[in-house]
Amino acid sequence: MAAFNRPAVQVAFVMCVIILLTSYFMIYHNCSGEFPTTQKLRSTPSNHPASHAPCTCPSGSVLLKNHLPKDQYEELVQRRAKELRQHKARTTSLLSGLLFALPNCPLAHPVQGFTVRPLTSTLIPGLALHAEQRSSYKVSLNVSKGILTTETSPEGVTIQGDGKMGLTMESSSLVILNNLLAKVSYTSTVYHIHTGDLATFKFENYEAVFPITIKQPHMPVLYDMGTDISSHVTITTKTFLRYAKLKLLLNSIRRFYSDVEVIIADDNFEPEPITGAHIQHYIMPPAKGWFAGRNLAVSQVTTKYFLWVDDDFVFTEKTKIEKLVEVMEAVPELDVLGGSVQGNQFYFSLHYEEGQEMDGGCLYRTSNRKFHSLPGYPQCFLVSGVVNFFLARTDAVQRVGFDPKLQRVAHSEFFMDGLGSLLVASCDHVSIGHQSRTADDESETRYRQFRKPAKSDQEFKLQLHFFKNHLKCVKYG
């Protein structure tokens, strides 16, 4: 009987050992499959962003290279590539790459949010080792853009590299080692206002990498808003060859808002004086263009918000600036909030793929496409761009700006430049009127001659998209 049971007991014992070991690795390491060694961890492309695949130009796209002078194409591509490299140097860092969370259970470390000021010593929070009983515990930390320091080592602890880029600590006591890890500080050694470093934390075959953001804090720009609308909003516009329409606009503004400041950018050939209370009239060189005028007007705004209107609009009972301000104040992440013009709630979405470095990206603009409604305001929804009647956060728009190279063919281009920087929405509960066009009006006829872009203007815009926005193609739909 005993002889019959011996193999069964041996098998049961082996099975128990296997189950215990399996449970240990599943629970303690919180991972399954083969445990990666340090060599395998290093081979993982954890700190190198994947290169972008070529983007696909949708059917009907404008291929921008076809609108470039053929004899200048190669030189333009080389100059554009150089500018792109400089742009990436300004906007990316080590922290732009992917970091994968590998099975490094014994090592505790910050995952995100660890930010230090340049050249300033800062304790690294959350560093600890959680390991089973060993005769000795040895950990190392390595960085590339700073130095690591800790307190003087107590008896029985070996520390190497204190004040250098690589710090190693060894102790027979896990408690003492963790006390020292809690006192490790990082100091960047090169001044930079926004960059980052990657710290490598090792114990035996375990390796963890975590980010350190090196950043000079921004000083806030706050606006002391009063209680009335005139302390909240400035109205801005640009005028050219349409003084009669501008005066109708100003009269309509004063009908509803007597004290709101109005800023006018004027690039007429023969400027006329525009006077009145709370009016700032800025004369520009003749025919400098649409975006140059916008830049000038917005540069003079001192209120938290500005309302952009065209010079041939007209305020009505439905032009309630307060309602737009209410939404912007309730949703402070918003930067631009559009309304409707005589029932036309024009808006569009932008879909952008970066593409490969030498080819450029692909941009698809789709009219009347929205993302989703604005939480708490079902009459508003998020979009990429809006009509020429919008309330905007002054400091946010000033950071993006309006490209003065675009003199006639320009509106969507502002929102293209602001893609990823400006959060935009459109609402249908605030509207403005549009003045009627008179066919026999001499100034209107002359204005239309300038307003209608020549083919050369369109070609210039496409060439600008190729170089400035690093685009391969654009589709307007």
Q: Is residue 153 part of a domain?
A: yes
Cα gap 148→142, rounded to integer Å: 8
DSSP string, 335-359: -EEEEEETTB--EEEEEEE---TTT
* Domain final position from 159, 185, 215: 215
CATH number at residue 427: 3.90.550.10
Say yes or no: 187 and 266 in one domain: no
Crossing angle between the packed helical segments 73-91 and 455-467, to the nearest 10 degrees: 50
Residue 57 lies in a domain: no
261 and 132, same domain (yes or no): no
Name the pTM for this structure. 0.82
Are residues 171 and 114 part of one domain? yes
Are 157 and 243 in the same domain?
no
3-class state of residue 57 by DSSP: coil
pLDDT at residue 182, as a whole number = 95
Helices (H) and strands (E) in the chain, counts: 11, 26
What's the confidence (pLDDT) of residue 125?
96
**Domain for residue 184, yes or no?**
yes
Q: What is the pLDDT of residue 381?
A: 97
72 lies in some domain: no
pLDDT at 439: 57
Q: Which residues of the chain have pLDDT under 50?
A: 1-5, 7, 9, 11, 13-14, 16-49
Averaged pLDDT score across all residues of the chain: 86
The answer to whether residue 87 is domain-embedded is no
Cα distances from 336 to residues 281, 282, 343, 406, in angstroms, run: 24, 24, 19, 21
- Position 18 scores a pLDDT of 46
* Cβ neighbour number for residue 393 with a 10 Å cutoff: 21
* pLDDT number for residue 453: 65
Q: Are strands 233-239 and 262-266 parallel, antiparallel or unpaired?
A: parallel
Q: Which of 191, 215, 239 is the last residue of a domain?
A: 215
pLDDT attached to residue 23: 41
Residue ranges making up the domain that contains 244? 229-476
- 215, 239, 269 - which closes a domain: 215
Which has the closest alpha carbon to 472: 56, 53, 69? 56
Query: Do 244 and 320 fall into the same domain?
Result: yes
| Same-domain pairing of 234 and 176 | no
Buried b or exposed e, range 343-355, using 16+ CB within 10 angstroms: eebbbbbbebbeb
Same domain, 248 and 362: yes
In a shared domain, residues 375 and 412: yes
CATH of the domain at 129: 2.60.40
**Percentage above 90 pLDDT, the chain:** 68
Are 259 and 298 within one domain?
Answer: yes
Is 405 among the domain residues? yes
261 and 327 share one domain: yes
Whether residue 374 lies inside any domain: the answer is yes
pLDDT of residue 138: 97
Is residue 395 domain-shared with residue 430, that is, in the same domain?
A: yes
Q: Whose structure tokens read 């190279």?
A: 405
pLDDT of residue 103: 62
Residue 230 is predicted with a pLDDT of 95
Q: What is the pLDDT of residue 17?
A: 43
Total count of domains within the chain: 2
Same domain, 280 and 353: yes
17 within a domain of the structure (yes/no): no
Is the separation of the CB atoms in 65 and 76 below 8 Å? no
Take residue 438 and report the two structure tokens written for it.
């008179």
